[in-house]
Structure 1
């Protein structure tokens, strides 16, 4: 990491300095290509540091440039301070994974950041651009990180796509929230973000567990939440367990290779309508009756934004339980009919 301490420097003069540095690096790479092919990481930081120092001689920046070398990340917090972030790839392309969107190690004395990128695959070349102009998207390792594309066209940055500026995003207490909101808006049916939890105060699970390794209590808790969040489980759709399976994996870190048994095992059972007439219903309705108190508690205590997301509704009714009954009955319309399902559910929860 290379940072200029000169708070009185002008952006236009620093940009000129960056351009001269790029020319020096590219000229030297053309003459000593094999040397640069073996450079990378901190070694390349030293090369860039040497180049910027050489180009700064005789300018207002001479003697003001420090090599931080990974101890911090530049950030824009004071007037007329500039930083350079050095990235590289050993391949013959201009893309890479950048820094965390959180920027928790940022230096508070940096106003403008430039990204100097070394393409160390032959032919070796260097390009420097304003940091925010070459961030194309978000990749996730242990935390969301920027994707770098040094050939990115104007108007195609991740900030253009999200409709939020780099400065605004980096200043947020929780920059992950707008990022996850954007990527969730791009999800196709059957897709989910494994790294973005539904609850801003919780975190995605760091480990993955098999369903068979869980206690019976945990299995029942997950099944109850499945009934609450995914009404389509009561339908006859061939994809009725897909969203629940994704939720188990991404939000709970649980892999269940035989989800059907949790809901459909048991065939059909007799259940009573409000009139007292017995009808044959899928065994899942019997489990709803068994777990009715826990279902009520989950619906009452769950954040309304989560319910809206999973129920696919614009608003949550004052009587959330009745709204859920209607959603489940609508899903069951393809199996036993809406009227029968609604009547059975109404009786279950009226007689609780």
Structure 2
């Protein structure tokens, strides 16, 4: 069967199924819909050597394998042509398939069934426990055209290189104040967010100081004036996304009396300045320990460990208004 012949079959099958749902009513479940798709293919291919498998492996991708052609079946009860699809790693992909198509049953609104080439229909990567494609029938632009490579090229990349493209795409979509929670590229299941979320207030004093040192180093904007909107946002997001630690009151990390007066209980002065003086040792340790990717992520550039404190002071001086951090910190 040629590509043109297969695509003609898709047109006929989709037209038949669209007519059926508009006359007889919609399919109630995705499994019911997929079964009807297989039955339609079976009728069309009755006089050929291609056989439809009605008992496939439950996790095979794509759903229906017809020789070197594959069809991924999507179903929604909503009025949308968009759906979450398979993992970008395609670890369960059938080796026999060379051409993949999307066949979509939209049961909401005016019910219809349509198809498209899979690489043209992939429009986005959504992250849950692992990155997954999102697909849409007749999109304005495909994900691969945005990335600047074809689906076939992406398919044959090693996992680490796939993640380079995905992270670049995801970073370009970030809004102000947003960060990626996944930074790793070792395998398809690793990322930097621990599965168990902990409360900051329940941590030991040693761990609190260690994490405060890291957050302060990566986020020099914490030295902004007290009324600056969102000055602690990045520090809070860092603790949650990289360490799985939830801090409900971000200011308590740096400007509360409990941290500012730890070494000197006398009242008054710049509490934030005093809190940072108290964790200089932890900040220096973080500067030597943290992965360079974090500085690229938070500072926008790579900085060697030996230069990170100097760079932090430079940035902090630009953020501070009523005081100059380099005059009193890391002397």
Tell me if TM exceeds 0.5: yes
RCO higher in structure (CA 8 A, sep ≥6): 1
Shift of 1:299: 0.9
2:219 alignment partner in structure 1: 230
Superposed, which structure 2 residues align to 1:146-225 within 5 Å? Answer: 146-153=133-140, 156-172=141-157, 173-174=159-160, 175-194=162-181, 196-197=182-183, 202-225=191-214
Superposed, which structure 2 residues align to 1:1-352 within 5 Å? Answer: 9-33=1-25, 36-38=26-28, 40-59=29-48, 62-67=49-54, 68=56, 70-74=58-62, 81-121=68-108, 123-153=110-140, 156-172=141-157, 173-174=159-160, 175-194=162-181, 196-197=182-183, 202-236=191-225, 237-266=228-257, 282-313=270-301, 316=304, 319-332=307-320, 334-337=321-324, 341-347=325-331
Structure number with larger C-alpha Rg: 1
Gaps in structure 2 of 5+ consecutive residues:
none
Residues 214, 282 of structure 2: 8 Å contact kept: no
Residues 281, 336 of structure 1: 8 Å contact kept: no
Aligned length: 314
1:4 alignment partner in structure 2: none
Shift of 1:184: 1.5
Please give the TM-score of this superposition, normalised by the length of structure 2. Answer: 0.83
Please give the TM-score of this superposition, normalised by the length of structure 1. Answer: 0.79
Relative to structure 1, is the Cα distance of residues 213 and 199 closer, same or farther in structure 2, using a 3 angstrom cutoff?
Answer: farther
Cα distance between partner residues in 2 of 1:268 and 1:11: 70
Residues 29, 124 of structure 1: 8 Å contact kept: yes
Relative to structure 1, is the Cα distance of residues 69 and 86 closer, same or farther in structure 2, using a 3 angstrom cutoff?
Answer: farther
What is the alpha-carbon root mean square deviation over aligned residues? 2.8
Relative to structure 1, is the Cα distance of residues 303 and 140 closer, same or farther in structure 2, using a 3 angstrom cutoff?
Answer: closer
